[in-house]
């Protein structure tokens, strides 16, 4: 995704969110950590109208989850609208062929969320997904300035499950730790990646989404 600079008019919102989160106890509490991530998933789901959301600590991770979840793997082909150099290189690393053939299904739709489009995010999502309602949607929140953060939003639970399985300490790993029983072992990938989102970053993004369209606050 393209680099962006946060404008001075958004400094207050940025500092407000940081101060609120840093004083909330999120850093020290495992329970609050999980609640913040689950809260972010729900907030994104409400905006996108998708049933399932998987969080990642990078745009690359969310792209990987979108492709893996749809069984777009080494040797497969997919299509992207105006693929960036970063996306081209990553697909090449995965061994996925990037095709320009319109008959090849598009792998995912990507939206970069920033302070300029934040307040109109629902409209942005709608404009990007009207013709592709069942397509995987990747949202990159990194340009908000809190740290790397991205999400995969889908309606297909099988895509979500595979994407979550891709993460070390994802939803299924944590469930296994608590119950000491393997869950959904049939979708276990051959390898997992350190894609788990920082709860601190997640808390900042969640609060930012919740307080959209508000003026300066005391």
- Residue 43: domain span: 8-155+193-210
* 160 belongs to a structural domain: no
**Which three-class secondary structure string do you get for 111-167?**
EECCCCCHHHHHHHHHHHHCCCCCCCEEEECHHHCCCCCEEEEECCHHHHHHHHHCE
Q: What is the mean pLDDT of residues 22-39?
A: 74
Task: Report whether pLDDT(65) > 80.
Answer: yes
- CA Rg value for the chain: 17
Task: Report whether pLDDT(40) > 80.
Answer: yes
The band of 33, judged by pLDDT with boundaries at 50, 70 and 90, is confident
Main-chain dihedrals φ then ψ at residue 56, nearest 5 degrees: -140, 155
pLDDT of residue 156: 95
Q: What is the pLDDT of residues 163-183, one digit of tens each?
A: 999 998 766 655 555 454 555
* 94 belongs to a structural domain: yes
* 107 belongs to a structural domain: yes
pLDDT of residue 218: 43
**What is the overall mean pLDDT for the chain?**
85
CATH of the domain at 81: 3.40.640.10
């Amino acid at each position: 995704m393209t680099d962006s600079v946060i404008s001075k008019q958004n400094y207050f919102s940025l500092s407000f969110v940081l101060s609120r989160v840093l004083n909330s106890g999120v850093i020290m509490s495992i329970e609050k950590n999980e609640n913040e991530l689950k809260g972010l998933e729900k907030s994104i789901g409400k905006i996108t109208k998708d049933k399932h959301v998987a969080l990642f600590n990078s745009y690359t991770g969310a792209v990987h989850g979108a492709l893996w979840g749809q069984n777009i793997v080494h040797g497969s082909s997919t299509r992207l609208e105006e693929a960036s150099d970063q996306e081209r290189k990553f697909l090449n690393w995965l061994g996925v062929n990037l095709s320009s053939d319109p008959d090849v299904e598009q792998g995912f739709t990507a939206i970069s969320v920033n302070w300029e489009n934040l307040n109109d995010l629902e409209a942005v999502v709608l404009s990007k997904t009207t013709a592709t309602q069942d397509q995987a949607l990747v949202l990159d929140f990194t340009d908000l300035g809190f740290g790397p953060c991205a999400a995969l939003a889908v309606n297909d639970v099988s895509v979500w499950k595979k994407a979550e399985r891709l993460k070390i300490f994802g939803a299924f790993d944590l469930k296994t730790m608590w119950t000491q029983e393997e869950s959904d072992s049939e979708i276990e990938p051959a390898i997992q990646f350190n894609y788990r989102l920082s709860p601190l970053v997640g808390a900042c993004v969640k609060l930012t989404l919740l307080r959209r369209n508000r003026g300066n606050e005391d």
